[in-house]
Amino acid sequence: MNRRRLAAGFTLLEALIALLIGGFGLLAVARLQIGMQGESDLAKQLSEATFLGQRRIEMLRAYQQIPAADAAALVAGSWGYDNILTGSETIAGGNASYAVRWTITPFASATPAANDPRFKTAAVNVGWTDRNGNAQTASLSTVISSSDPAAALGLSVPPAGTPIRRPKNRDLNVPVPAIDLGDGRSAFTPPGASATFRLVFDNATGIITKHCTGTGTSISGWVCSDLNAYLVSGFIYENSSNLTLTSPLDLTMTLTQGTLYSCYDDSDTAKSYANYFSYTCVVIGVDHDSNPATRPRWSGRLDVTGIPIGTAAAQNRVCRYSADYDGSGAVDNYEHPAAYTNVTESLENQNFYLVRGTSSCPVGSGIELMVQHQP
pLDDT value at position 62? 85
Same domain, 245 and 335: yes
pLDDT value at position 124? 94
Containing structural domain, residue 269: 152-373
pLDDT value at position 212? 92
Alpha-carbon distance of 53 to 66, in angstroms, equals 23
Flag residues of the chain having pLDDT under 70. 1-10, 12-13, 15, 22-39, 75, 108-116, 150-168, 239-247, 269-275, 364-368
Same domain, 60 and 168: no
pLDDT value at position 165? 46
Radius of gyration of the chain (CA): 35
Same domain, 250 and 103: no
pLDDT tens sequence across 247-258: 678 889 999 999
Alpha-carbon distance of 36 to 45, in angstroms, equals 14
Same domain, 191 and 234: yes
Same domain, 342 and 263: yes
Is 359 a domain residue? Answer: yes
pLDDT value at position 206? 87
CA torsion angle 299 168 235 305 (round to 10): 40
Same domain, 174 and 132: no
Q: For the chain, what's the residue count?
A: 375
Same domain, 135 and 168: no
Is 62 a domain residue? Answer: yes
Is 26 a domain residue? Answer: no
- Phi/psi at 343 (nearest 5 deg)? -80, 130
pLDDT value at position 354? 87
Of 145, 163, 194, the domain-final residue: 145
pLDDT value at position 146? 82
Alpha-carbon distance of 172 to 193, in angstroms, equals 22
pLDDT value at position 66? 80
